[in-house]
C-alpha cells in the first residue's frame, strides 16, 4: 500500500460546480448529450461532438478499465499512479489508481470507483482501485 | 493558394548559452534577434513582421518585445502552440509574405527555465480557475513527464514497443551531441545506460527525458526578391502543416499525435513524400515523442517505430534517417522548454551545409522539422515544416 498523497482542491467554476458538489457526496457524474446520445468527459455545457446544449449529468456506474497509466517515482515525495480509465459509459477520464501495489497495475485492468478527500475538505476526487 | 516557394529562411541563429543567470529574458530574445538579422545580412529596420509566442516577455508578448527592440511592424502574429509554435510561425510568415503583408519576418524564442530552477517534468503546474479542464486534471498531479509516459505505456501495450527501442533514440542523439561544443550532454551513451538510468515515471527513465536549459533562437524569413539579394544559402519553405490534438471529449488514442494531421498537410503542400526527406528535426521532449511522431509523419508504419529507430537508424552517417544532428533536446538544449525553434535552426544548418562536418548529411537539399507543443498525453499543437535548399 502506498502512502497517501495530499490532494489539492480542484478549481471550481459555475459550469463545473454540480460535478464537484456530487463528488462531495460520493457520486461521480458523467455528462450525456440527449441530442446525439453520446457521453463525454470532462463535462461541458455544450456537447463537444455535436455542439448541442441539450446535455445532462447522469450518475456513473463507477466501473471501468485502465487505458493507460504511469507510476511517478521521482519528483513528488510519495510515488503515485496517474492513469486514464475508460469509463463504462465510454469516455476516458484522467484519474489516479490508488489503494493497491502500484507496481502491479496493468493496462486493461478492471477498476472500480473510490473517492479521496481533497486537502481543504471542499470535495472528493474520483479515483479508481482494482476491482 | 500555397506557401510553396513564397518565402525563404535567410537568417538563423541559436544562442550559445545553456545557462544565463546574468541575462534578462527580454535581452535573450533581443540577442537572438540580432544574431539572426546579422546572419541574414539585414538590419533591424528591414523587419516589418514579427512572430513570437508566450515565451516572449512583456505586455502581450509581441507588444512588449516590439517596444523593447524598437520594431516598426505591419504584421504581427502571437500564435502559441507551445514548443511547436516556431514551425507554425515560419509557415505563417510565408503566408503573410505571400499575401504581401510583410517582406522580412522575424521569429524569436528564448527562455531561462534552468536559471529559474523550474522542475518542469515532474511538477504539475497549478492552474487558474478559468481553465475548463483544470479541476479534472490538476488534483491528480499530471506531471508533464507522466503525460508522455502514458503514451509510451499504451504504445508498448498495443505494439510491443520496448524500453530498449526507445533508448536507441537517446543513443542516436548522444552520438550527434558529442560533436556540438555547446551541447549540455556530450557523452555518448548506450542502450544499457538509458535503461539503467533511474526510473522517473514508468516506463520513462531519466535518459528518456530532455534537458532543461536556458537559451533561444531566431529566424529571418524573407520574400524571394530579398532572398536573392542576400549573400547566404537560400532555404525555401515548401510546405507547412498545423494541428491541435486534444482529448476529444474523452474519445482519444494516445498512440497518435497531431503529426498525423500536420505531417500529411505539409507533405501535400511541399509535393514530396517522407522517403524524399534526407534530414529530419523531430521534437524530442522525450524519446517516446520522437517515436510516435516518426510514425505519424509516415517515416514508418504505425506501431513499427520501435524497429525503425533501433540499431542506429537515426544516426547521421549510419542510419537511413539522420535526425537532430545538433543533439536535440535530449542532449543539446531545450530553451524555454520549447524545442521547436532549435529544430528549424538545425534543419537550416543541414540545408546550408553548415552542420558539424561529422554529422552533415551529404548534399542535403530536402529537410523536415516537426514539433509537438503542449502535452502529448492531453492536448498539443503540432507543426510540420518542409524546406529545400535552392
CB contact under 8 A, B153 and A5: no
Q: How confident is the model at residue B128 (pLDDT cuts 50, 70, 90)?
A: low
Q: Check whether B127 has a pLDDT greater than 80.
A: no
Q: Is B160 exposed, middle or buried (0-12, 13-18, 19+ CB in 10 A)?
A: exposed
A9 lies in some domain: no
Residue A38: inside a domain = yes
Q: Note the pLDDT of residue A128.
A: 98
**Residue A1 scores a pLDDT above 50:** no
Structural domain that includes position A62: 17-130
Rounded to an integer, the average pLDDT of A87-103 is 97
Between A4 and B208, the higher pLDDT residue: B208
B117 pLDDT tier (thresholds 50, 70, 90): confident
User: Does the distance separating the beta carbons of A68 and B151 come in below 8 Å?
Assistant: yes
d(C-alpha B220, C-alpha B241), whole Å: 19
B250 touching chain A per CB within 8 A: yes
Task: Confirm whether A86 is domain-assigned.
Answer: yes
pLDDT of B106 reads: 98
| Residue-level pLDDT at B138 | 94
- How many angstroms separate the CA of residue B384 from the nearest CA in chain A? 26
Residues 35-74 of A with CB under 8 A from B: 38-42, 44, 47-49, 67-74
Which of B122, B138, B203 is facing A75, going by the closest CB pair?
Answer: B122
Q: Tell me how far apart the alpha carbons of residues B273 and A94 are, in angstroms, rounded to a whole number.
A: 37
Chain A with chain B: Cβ pairs closer than 8 A: 139
Beta bridge partners of A83: A69, A95
Q: What CATH number corresponds to the domain at position A29?
A: 2.40.50.840
CB contact under 8 A, B249 and A82: no
By CB atoms closer than 10 A (0-12, 13-18, 19+), residue B302 is middle
- For the segment B22-34, the average pLDDT, to the nearest whole number, is 97
Asked whether residue A88 is assigned to any structural domain, the reply reads: yes
CA atoms within 13 A of residue A81's CA, in its CB half-sphere:
26
Mutate which of B135, B160, B163 to disrupt the A interface (most A C-beta within 10 Å)? Answer: B135
Helix orientation angle between B144-159 and B287-297, rounded to the nearest 10 degrees: 50
CB atoms within 10 A of CB A21: 14
- pLDDT for position B1: 86
Q: Is residue A108 part of a domain?
A: yes
| Domain-embedded: residue A75 | yes
Q: How many domains does chain A have?
A: 1
Is 80 exceeded by the pLDDT of residue A81? yes
Is residue A48 assigned to a domain? yes
Residue A5: inside a domain = no
Q: Which of B48-57, B111-120, B124-133 has the highest mean pLDDT?
A: B48-57
What does the pLDDT look like over B174-213, one tens digit per residue? 999 999 999 999 999 999 999 999 999 999 999 999 999 9
Q: What is the pLDDT of residues A59-74, one digit of tens each?
A: 999 999 999 999 999 8
Nearest by CB to A69, from B127, B150, B198: name it: B150
Instruction: Say yes or no to pLDDT of A103 above 50.
Output: yes
Best B120, B138, B146, B254 member to test A by mutation, with max A CBs in 10 Å, is B146
On whether any CB of chain A is under 8 Å from the CB of B203, the answer is yes
- Least confident range from A116-130, B53-67, B123-137, B238-252: namely B123-137
pLDDT at B124 over 80: no
The pLDDT confidence band at residue A4, using thresholds 50, 70 and 90, is confident
pLDDT range class, residue B249, cuts 50, 70, 90? very high
Residue A120's Cα: distance from chain center in Å?
Answer: 19
Whole-number Å distance between alpha carbons of A108 and A85: 9
Mean pLDDT value across residues B163-170: 98
The reported pLDDT for the residue numbered B89 is 98
pTM for the structure as a whole:
0.97
What confidence score (pLDDT) does residue B108 get?
98
Compute the average pLDDT of residues B65-78: 97
Contact A73 B130 (CB under 8 A): no
How far B152 CA lies from chain A's nearest CA (Å)? Answer: 9
A-proximal residues of B, 316-355, CB under 8 Å = none
Mean residue pLDDT of chain B comes to 96
Amino acid at each position: 500500500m502506498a502512502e497517501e498523497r495530499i490532494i489539492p482542491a480542484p478549481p471550481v467554476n459555475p459550469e463545473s460546480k454540480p460535478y464537484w458538489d456530487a463528488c462531495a457526496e460520493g457520486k461521480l457524474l458523467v455528462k450525456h448529450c440527449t441530442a446525439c446520445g453520446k457521453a463525454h468527459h470532462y463535462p461541458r455545457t455544450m456537447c463537444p461532438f455535436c455542439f448541442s446544449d441539450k446535455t445532462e449529468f447522469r450518475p456513473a456506474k463507477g466501473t471501468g478499465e485502465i487505458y493507460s497509466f504511469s507510476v511517478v517515482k521521482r519528483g513528488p515525495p510519495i510515488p503515485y499512479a496517474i492513469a486514464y480509465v475508460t469509463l463504462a459509459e465510454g469516455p476516458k477520464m484522467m484519474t489516479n489508481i490508488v489503494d493497491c501495489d502500484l507496481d502491479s497495475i496493468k493496462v486493461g485492468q478492471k477498476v472500480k470507483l473510490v473517492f479521496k478527500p481533497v486537502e481543504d475538505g471542499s470535495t472528493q476526487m474520483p479515483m479508481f482501485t482494482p476491482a | 493558394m500555397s506557401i510553396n516557394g513564397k518565402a525563404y529562411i535567410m537568417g538563423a541563429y541559436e544562442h550559445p548559452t545553456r545557462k544565463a543567470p546574468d541575462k534578462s529574458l527580454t535581452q535573450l530574445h533581443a540577442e537572438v534577434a540580432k544574431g539572426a538579422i546579422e546572419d541574414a545580412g539585414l538590419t533591424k529596420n528591414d523587419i516589418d513582421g514579427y512572430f513570437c509566442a508566450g515565451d516572449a516577455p512583456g505586455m502581450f508578448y509581441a507588444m512588449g518585445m516590439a517596444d523593447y527592440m524598437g520594431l516598426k511592424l505591419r504584421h504581427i502574429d502571437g500564435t502559441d502552440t507551445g514548443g511547436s509554435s516556431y514551425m507554425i510561425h515560419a509557415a505563417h510568415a510565408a503566408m503573410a509574405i505571400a499575401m504581401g503583408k510583410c517582406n522580412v519576418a522575424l521569429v524569436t524564442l528564448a527562455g531561462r527555465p534552468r536559471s529559474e530552477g523550474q522542475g518542469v517534468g515532474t511538477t504539475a503546474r497549478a492552474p487558474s480557475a478559468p481553465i475548463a479542464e483544470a479541476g479534472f486534471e490538476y488534483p491528480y498531479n499530471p506531471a508533464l513527464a507522466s503525460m508522455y509516459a502514458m503514451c509510451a505505456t499504451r504504445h508498448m501495450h498495443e505494439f510491443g514497443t520496448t524500453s530498449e527501442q526507445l533508448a536507441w533514440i537517446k543513443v542516436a542523439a548522444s552520438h550527434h551531441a558529442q560533436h556540438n561544443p555547446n551541447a549540455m550532454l556530450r557523452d555518448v551513451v548506450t542502450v544499457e545506460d538509458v535503461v539503467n538510468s533511474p526510473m522517473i515515471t514508468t516506463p520513462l527513465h531519466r535518459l528518456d527525458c530532455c534537458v532543461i536549459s536556458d537559451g533561444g533562437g531566431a529566424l529571418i524569413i524573407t520574400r524571394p526578391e530579398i532572398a536573392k539579394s542576400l549573400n547566404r544559402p537560400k532555404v525555401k519553405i515548401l510546405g507547412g502543416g498545423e494541428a491541435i490534438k486534444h482529448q476529444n471529449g474523452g474519445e482519444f488514442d494516445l498512440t497518435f499525435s497531431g503529426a498525423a494531421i500536420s505531417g500529411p498537410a505539409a507533405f501535400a503542400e511541399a509535393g514530396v513524400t517522407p522517403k524524399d526527406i534526407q534530414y529530419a528535426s523531430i521534437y524530442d521532449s522525450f524519446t517516446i515523442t520522437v517515436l510516435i511522431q516518426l510514425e505519424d509523419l509516415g517515416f514508418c508504419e504505425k506501431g513499427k517505430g520501435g524497429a525503425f529507430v533501433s540499431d542506429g537508424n537515426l544516426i547521421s552517417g549510419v542510419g537511413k534517417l539522420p535526425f537532430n544532428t545538433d543533439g536535440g533536446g535530449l542532449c543539446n538544449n531545450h530553451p524555454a522548454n520549447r524545442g521547436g525553434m532549435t529544430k528549424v535552426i538545425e534543419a537550416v544548418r543541414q540545408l546550408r551545409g553548415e552542420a558539424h562536418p561529422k554529422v552533415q548529411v551529404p548534399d542535403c537539399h530536402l529537410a523536415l522539422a516537426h514539433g509537438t507543443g503542449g502535452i502529448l498525453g492531453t492536448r498539443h499543437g503540432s507543426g510540420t515544416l518542409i524546406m529545400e535548399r535552392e
